[in-house]
Homo-oligomer: A and B are copies of this chain.
Amino acid sequence: MVSSNLKIGVIGCGYWGPNLIRNCHELDGVSVTGVCDIRENRLQFISRQYPSLQLLTTSADEVIQSAITDAIIVSTPVSTHYELGQQVLKAGKHLLLEKPFTSTVDEAKKLIDTADKAGLCLMVDHTFVYTGAVKKIKELIDSGELGQLYYFDSTRVNLGLFQHDVNVVWDLAPHDVSIMDYLLGQIPRAIAATGMAHFDNRIENMAYISAYYDNNLLGHIHVNWLAPVKVRKTLISGSKKMVIYDDMEPSEKVKVYDRGVDISQDKEQIYRLLVQYRTGDMLAPNLDLTEALKGVSREFVTSIREPRAPLTGGEAGLRVVRILEAANRSMRRNGELVKLG
C-alpha cells in the first residue's frame, strides 16, 4: 500500500528533470524529497528553487535506497536506463523512465519482467501522448471519424543539438514513434529505414523510417538535426477525414479536413475505378492546454495509487524501442526490411 503522501526521488536534472520535479511538486499529496545529479551546479540550481528538498546528492544509489523515496523518476541518458531501472525496481520502488525506455529490446523486456514480478508500477514518459493535441486525434480515430486509416507521416526536423552518444533516431524519433504507437494502436509488421551520418562520427544526423502495418496502413517518419527551420508536422489520412497536426502553430495545432476521395467501381469498365473528390469544411478543435508533463506526473501517481497499469507502461516503451532498434538495424543494412515479431 502506498502512503498517503507519495515521496518521489528524481535522478537526473538536465532538461526534463526540473520540469518533472515542478509538475510532481504541484500535485496534491505528492512530495519530491530527493534529487540526484552528477553535476554539483545542477543540484545547487534545484535547491535554490526547492529549499525544502531533503536529499541532494551526486549518488543515484543514495536516492534509490533512501527511506524518504517511494518512487523514482529516472531522467538520465538512455544508456543508463537499464542499470538504474533495475536498481530502482529491486529496491522495491515504482519507476518512471524518461523516453526512450531502454537502449535495446532485451533490456526493455527484462525491466518489464522485474517490475511484473515485484508488482511495481513501471511507466515510460511518452510525453506527447499526454498533450491535448494527440489526445484529441486519438479521440477522432477511436470514434471512427477519420474512417479507415491510410497513412501516418511525421516530420521532426531542426538545426541541432547534435548528440555525442545517440543518433537522431534515438534522439528525436521516440517522440514520433510513441505518438504513432498510441494513435494507430497496432504493431507494424516490418520496418525499413534510411539514414546518413554526414560527419565522421558515425552518428546518423538524419533518417527516414517506414513502418508497414496490416491493411495497407503506412507509417513514415523523417527526423533530422540538420534543417534550417524547426518543423513538427504530422499528416494522418483516413478514408473519411484527414488530420494535420502542426506543433509549431501557436494555436490551431490540429486541423481536421473533411476531404477525401470516394471510390466506386465502374460497372461497365470493371477494372476502372471511379474517383470523386470530396472537399468539405476544415475544423480546428479547441484543445486541452494543460502541460503534458502535468498529465505524465498525474498518470504516474494515479497508477501507483489505484493501482493500475499506466497508459504508457513498460509494454508501450517496449513497442517503441522495438521499432527504434529495427530502424537502426535497417539503416545499417541500406534500408533492408526488418520484420517485427
Q: How far is the CA of A159 from the CA of B258 in the complex (A)?
A: 12
Contacts of A251 in B (CB 8 A): 229
Query: How far is the CB of A168 from the nearest CB of chain B, in Å?
Result: 12
Once A196-B218, A200-B273 are accepted as A-B contacts, the answer to whether A261 and B159 lie under 8 Å apart by CB is yes
Segment of A3-11, A75-83, A180-188, A242-250 engaged in the interface with chain B:
A242-250
Contacts of A263 in B (CB 8 A): 199
Q: How far is the CA of A248 from the CA of B200 in the complex (A)?
A: 36
Q: Is A277 a contact partner of B160 (Cβ separation < 8 A)? A: yes
In the assembled complex, A153 has its CB within 8 A of some CB on chain B: yes
* Mask: chain A, 197-241; 1 = CB below 8 Å from B; 0 = not: 111110000101010100010101010101111100001010000
Segment of A58-66, A89-97, A100-108, A279-287 engaged in the interface with chain B:
A279-287
In the assembled complex, A170 has its CB within 8 A of some CB on chain B: no
Q: How many A residues face the partner with a CB closer than 8 A?
A: 68
In the assembled complex, A162 has its CB within 8 A of some CB on chain B: yes
In the assembled complex, A194 has its CB within 8 A of some CB on chain B: yes
In the assembled complex, A15 has its CB within 8 A of some CB on chain B: no
Which residue of B210, B226, B281 is within 8 Å of A284 (Cβ)?
B281
Q: Is A272 a contact partner of B164 (Cβ separation < 8 A)? A: yes
In the assembled complex, A275 has its CB within 8 A of some CB on chain B: yes
In the assembled complex, A325 has its CB within 8 A of some CB on chain B: no
Q: Is A218 a contact partner of B206 (Cβ separation < 8 A)? A: yes
Which residue of chain B is the closest to A163 with respect to CB atoms?
A: B275
Query: How far is the CB of A101 from the nearest CB of chain B, in Å?
Result: 26
In the assembled complex, A335 has its CB within 8 A of some CB on chain B: yes
In the assembled complex, A257 has its CB within 8 A of some CB on chain B: yes
Taking A199-B261, A279-B286 as known contacts, 7 extra A-B pairs with beta carbons closer than 8 A to each other, sorted by chain A number, are: A150-B226, A157-B235, A194-B218, A200-B273, A208-B220, A228-B282, A283-B284
